[in-house]
Structure 1
Amino acid sequence: METALELFHKFYDPIKPVVFDKNEWAVIAIATITEGSAIYIYAKHRIMRLSEGLALILFNVYLTSLLEFILATRPVDLYDTIDRDSGELFDFPLELVSYPVAMYIAMHFFLSWKIKKRYFVLLVAPVLCALEWICLRYFSLFTYKSWNLMLSFLFYIGVLTLNVNMISWIHHKVAANGGSKNVK
Structure 2
Amino acid sequence: MSGFLQKSNDIFQPILPKQFDENEYFTLAISVLVIVCITVLQKKKKVFLTTEIIAILLLNLLYTTLGDYFLAMKPYDFYDTVDHNSGEIMDILLQNIVYPFTLLILMYFYARYKLNSFMYIIFGAMLLCILEWISVKFFNLFTYK
Residue of structure 1 in register with 2:85 after alignment: 85
The 5-angstrom pairing of residues 98-137 of structure 1 reads: 98-137=98-137
For the residue of structure 1 that corresponds to 2:14, the secondary structure is coil
Residue of structure 1 in register with 2:142 after alignment: 142
Contact in 2 for aligned 1:57/1:103 (Cα 8 Å): no
The 5-angstrom pairing of residues 14-25 of structure 1 reads: 14-25=14-25
Amino acid at match of 2:69: F
Separation in structure 1 between the aligned mates of residue 62 and residue 139 of structure 2, nearest angstrom: 25
Deviations 1:107-143 (A, max 9, x none): 1111122123322111110110000000000000000
Residue of structure 2 in register with 1:5 after alignment: 5
TM-score (norm 1): 0.75
Identity of matched residues, %: 34
Separation in structure 2 between the aligned mates of residue 11 and residue 95 of structure 1, nearest angstrom: 21
TM-score (norm 2): 0.94
Contact in 2 for aligned 1:72/1:78 (Cα 8 Å): yes
Separation in structure 1 between the aligned mates of residue 57 and residue 42 of structure 2, nearest angstrom: 13
Separation in structure 1 between the aligned mates of residue 25 and residue 131 of structure 2, nearest angstrom: 16
**Larger helix percent:** 2
Deviation above 6 Å: which 4+ runs of structure 1? none
Amino acid at match of 1:34: V
Separation in structure 2 between the aligned mates of residue 50 and residue 71 of structure 1, nearest angstrom: 31
Deviations 1:15-38 (A, max 9, x none): 111110111000000000001111
Amino acid at match of 1:36: V
Separation in structure 2 between the aligned mates of residue 41 and residue 73 of structure 1, nearest angstrom: 36
Separation in structure 2 between the aligned mates of residue 66 and residue 122 of structure 1, nearest angstrom: 24
* Deviation for aligned residue 1:106: 1.0
Residue of structure 2 in register with 1:156 after alignment: none
Larger relative contact order, structure 1 or 2 (CA cutoff 8 Å, min sep 6): 2
Gaps of 5+ in 2: none
Amino acid at match of 1:128: L
Judge which range, 129-138 or 67-76, deviates more: 67-76
For the residue of structure 1 that corresponds to 2:80, the secondary structure is strand
Separation in structure 1 between the aligned mates of residue 74 and residue 118 of structure 2, nearest angstrom: 33
